[in-house]
Amino acid sequence: MQKLPRAVRRLIEKFERLPGIGPKSAQRLVFYLLHNPDHELEDFAERLIALKKETVTCEICHNVSESNPCSICTDSSRDKNVLCVVEQPLDLLALERSEQFKGLYHVLHGSISPLNNIGPDQIFLKDLLGRLDGVEELIVATNPTMEGEATALYISELITNRLGDNSPRITRIGHGLPVGADIEYADGVTLARALEGRRKI
C-alpha cells in the first residue's frame, strides 16, 4: 500500500494531538498546507516559536501577557477592591469583552478535577489568599460545570476558614438562561438555577 511521505505523516501527527482535531481533519489540514507557498509555512513556523518566547505569565494574576505584571494589574484606573477568579485566560477575555467588570483578575489555569488528578496544588490557587488584603469582593467566575462548581466551593471554604471575619464578600456569577435562549429548550438544571436566581423587576 502506498504510504504518505514521512514529512506529511509527521505533520499530521502534530495536528492530531491538538484538541478537537481528529485524524481526518489533520490529514485535510496538512494537504491544505502543502498547497501553500514555502514562505507561508515558514511564517507559520516562526509564529509558533514566537508564541512562548514573546509571552509571559503575569506573576500577579497569572494571565498570559506581553509584560510582567500584565497591563490589567498595572492599570491604575481599575478597581483594586474587586477580584474576579476565572479558570482560563480566554474566560478573562470573554469577561473583558462584556465591558462590565472593572476590577482585577486571578487566573487559575484550570479547575479542581480529582478525576484528572488536578488538585488545588495543580492550579494557581495558593497565592490567591495573599492577594485578598483590602479586597472587598471576590467574584468566583469559574465555569458552571462540576469541576468549576467544586473549585468555587473549595475557594469559598478555604478563604472563610483562613481569614474568618477578615474574608471579603465571596460571590458567584449568576446562573440562569442565557440571553436569547428559549425556555422551551432549556435543561432542568439551568431552569432550576434561573428560578433560584430570580430578581424583582
**Size, binding site for its own copies by CB under 8 A:** 54
**Binding segment (CB under 8 A) for its own copies, from list 51-59, 126-134, 144-152, 166-174:** 51-59
d(CA 39, CA 34): 12
6-25: which residues touch its own copies (CB under 8 A)?
Answer: 6-8, 10-11, 14, 18-21, 25
Report the nearest approach of its own copies to the CB of residue 118 (Å): 13
The binding track of 113-132 with respect to its own copies, each residue x by CB under 8 A or -, is --------------------
Q: How far is CA 111 from CA 54, 61, 116, 161, 182, in A?
A: 26, 15, 10, 20, 29
**DSSP letter assigned to residue 22:** -
Phi first, then psi, for residue 60 (nearest 5°) are -90, -60
Residue 5 preceded by cis peptide, ω within 30: no
- Which residues form the interface with its own copies (CB under 8 A)? 1-2, 4-8, 10-11, 14, 18-21, 25, 27-35, 38, 41-55, 64-66, 71-72, 88-90, 92-93, 96-97, 99, 109
